Amino acid sequence: MKITLRYFASVREQLAQSQEQVDTSATTLDGLREELIARGEPYAQALGLGKAIRMAMNQKVCDGDAALLPDAEVAFFPPVTGG
């Protein structure tokens, strides 16, 4: 299924792009993240499982076990703090 990926903040900087379209066989957000990590560097560095990364689908923050929807927009971003 085709989806749009959007990257923000340090994730965008590490990947040197703000968005891309991909064709995926993943069924969950965690599965998608694992597919991207398997691409190797710089994805493994930016999205590695040990990193604190938030995910959103269609502009709603989701857990990794959320089912991936066809034509979804998925965003990856670091947690933010306010003050």
What is the tens place of the pLDDT at every residue in 7-47? 999 999 999 999 999 999 999 999 999 999 999 999 999 99
Q: Using DSSP, state whether 42 is helix, strand or coil.
A: coil
What is the distance between the alpha carbons of residues 61 and 66, in angstroms, rounded to a whole number? 10
Confidence of residue 81 (pLDDT cuts 50, 70, 90): low
What residue spans define the domains of the chain?
2-77
- Give, in words, the CATH class of 2-77: alpha beta
0.85 cut: is pTM over it? yes
Q: What is the pLDDT of residues 59-77, one digit of tens each?
A: 999 999 999 999 999 999 9
pLDDT of residue 82 exceeding 60, the answer is no
